[in-house]
Structure 1
């Protein structure tokens, strides 16, 4: 039986995949990496906070040159998920300015990054256009 593991620690798999941020207990700033202190206020207390799975594209770039072996073009974006800023690639979208727009509604999507020789599958995430997700395309 194969096993699935998240590619990053802050991706939670299961029936309802989502991201989990470290939220400052003092000011509410959110971070995906480990912190000893809050970069916004300096406090040292953190709690886990589930991040909204839907959001809006706030910034994006269409990447046309990448490291060897990385297929291009692709869209790298910053997504506002109800106040939490998430950097991720857009998936299931044509990577050109006619199909990607600021303010575009998107939602979290998981996908396989590959399986090792022991059958363990790494699962990554991106965001897909909400219209595509609703239409099932």
Structure 2
């Protein structure tokens, strides 16, 4: 069996992959990075919160220049997942203005982004269009 590991600690793999945020127990703000205090209200108590796996694209850009080794063009965007903003690439869509639109429905998708010498797969995530 192939071993897989997430490339970020907020990606939960398994039968139903999803993202997990740190949710402020006082105001409900959500963050993917570790916090000592909430940027919204200053509280210091957080809980793990599963983020919705479907959302809508709220903003995007088509990236045409990147560091060597990064294939371009690609779509970088912000997805509203039931109130939680997620920055991610939009994958499995042609990176052209005719194929990407604000408000398009997307779902979380995982993919292998690298394999080490022992065969362990590093899993990344993006969001792909939901077929209507």
Q: Provide the TM-score with structure 2 as the length reference.
A: 0.98
Q: How do residues 70-81 of structure 1 correspond to structure 2 at under 5 angstroms? A: 70-81=70-81
Report the counterpart of residue 30 of structure 2 in structure 1: 30
Structure with higher helix content = 1
Q: Provide the TM-score with structure 1 as the length reference.
A: 0.95
Report the counterpart of residue 8 of structure 1 in structure 2: 8
Q: Deviations over 1:27-84 (max 9, x none)?
A: 0000000000000000000000000000000000000000110000000000000000
Tell me the matched-pair count.
Answer: 132
Report the counterpart of residue 107 of structure 1 in structure 2: 107
RMSD between superposed Cα atoms in Å: 0.8
Shift of 1:114: 1.4
Specify every segment of 5 or more residues in structure 1 that has no aligned partner in the other structure, as ranges.
Answer: none
Misfit runs of 4+, over 2 Å: none
Shift of 1:119: 1.1
Report the counterpart of residue 19 of structure 1 in structure 2: 19
